[in-house]
Amino acid sequence: MTGTSGTAGTTPERHRPPFGRIAPAMVTPFHPDGSLDPLGAQTLATHLVDRGCDGIVLNGTTGESPTTTDAEQDRLLRAVLEAVGDRARVTAGVGSNDTRHTVELARAAERAGAHGLLVVTPYYSRPSQEGIARHVAAVAEAVGLPVMLYDIPARTGVRLHRETLLRLAEHPRVAAVKDSAYDLLGSARVIADSGLDYYSGADELNLPLYSVGAVGAVSTVANVAPEQTRAVLDAHTAGDNAEALRQHRLLLPLIDAMMGAAPGTVTAKALLRLLGLPAGPVRLPLVDADPELVGELAAALPSPVG
């Protein structure tokens, strides 16, 4: 849905991937007592789409999926779909390290109206590549939605191998990869050899991956700087590589501040609270940013696009 209207203007045509192009990995807003805030989620999602995001990814790592219940995830998904589902592609994170549970979550997300699914590589148990392939196939066979694989070996303990990606790409519903593997050469080879739509899952690599054929970004930083995140890819799409590099460099201090000192959920929520947007606290075992970190984050916020 590239070209969704918003304050960021019209995006030049390149490719219309099924999960959008700029898709914040949205935080899950909570009330001060730690309970789910569906109205806050609607407000935040609307804010992001109004500022040029054509996708939203819910119930991922940044959305605190490890500490939200299945019922909370379903309620959040339905609330966001109601708010922006006609203007943005809403993707539901359904991954777990239990294939049966993942299938249940995928079916529930489809019933709720999700446009796509994010399926992380099963973590902790460190399955073989054969086990990963069977896990993904079981999910893809259980639903009629496009599936985005999530390759993040630093968290899962296992990498999606090139051969596994090429094998999974043959499934008609395996459509994309959220790439947090930090292997530009390996990713570029899979992009070239498969029909998979690649999304950067690491904000510092949004521009490098886009330049070798990725179609967009699933971005933590876009929670607080949606227009600036989009501006990088817009400039590259328009053929203005110098402007793309300039916008990328303007975002680097914020990326460094948000992704270096604490988990992205913690830093994104701290900045959203500072900006007066719904966020609320994080849930244990995460802890909220201390005043020193909040000051460092505030100092790294970029100026408006222009």
All structural domains of the chain, each given as residue ranges with its CATH number in brackets, are 22-240 (3.20.20.70)
Is 150 tagged catalytic?
A: yes
| Active-site option among 123, 124, 178, 182 | 178
Cα separation, 12 vs 173, whole angstroms? 27
Identify the pLDDT of residue 304.
Answer: 79
C-beta of residue 36 within 8 angstroms of C-beta of residue 30: yes
Instruction: Decide if 124 is catalytic.
Output: no
Task: Reply yes or no: is the peptide bond before residue 285 cis, omega within 30 of 0.
Answer: yes
Taking only the tens of pLDDT, the chain with its 306 residues reads: 333 333 334 444 556 789 999 999 999 999 999 999 999 999 999 999 999 999 999 999 999 999 999 999 999 999 999 999 999 999 999 999 999 999 999 999 999 999 999 999 999 999 999 999 999 999 999 999 999 999 999 999 999 999 999 999 999 999 999 999 999 999 999 999 999 999 999 999 999 999 999 999 999 999 999 999 999 999 999 999 999 999 999 999 999 999 988 999 999 999 999 999 999 999 999 999 999 999 999 999 998 776
**Which residues of 38-143 form beta strands (DSSP E)?**
55-58, 89-93, 116-120
Residues 6+ apart with CB under 8 A from 93: 57, 58, 59, 60, 61, 63, 65, 73, 117, 118, 120, 150
Active-site entry in 150, 198, 199, 210: 150
Rounded to whole angstroms, the Cα distance separating 284 from 297 reads 21
What radius of gyration do the chain's Cα atoms show?
18
Do 154 and 180 touch, CB atoms closer than 8 A? yes
pTM over 0.85: yes
Residue 189, C-beta contacts closer than 8 angstroms, at least 6 positions apart: 162
CA dist 296 and 265 (Å) reads 16
Task: Please answer whether residues 272 and 279 qualify as being in contact, where contact means their C-beta atoms are separated by less than 8 angstroms.
Answer: yes
**Secondary structure of residue 149 in the 3-state scheme:** strand
DSSP state of 223: G
Strands 116-120 and 89-93: parallel
Which contacts qualify for 234-242: CB closer than 8 Å, 24 or more apart? 234/8, 234/9, 234/11, 234/12, 236/207, 236/210, 236/211, 237/11, 237/12, 237/14, 238/12
What are the beta bridge partners of residue 163?
A: none
Amino acid at residue number 104: E
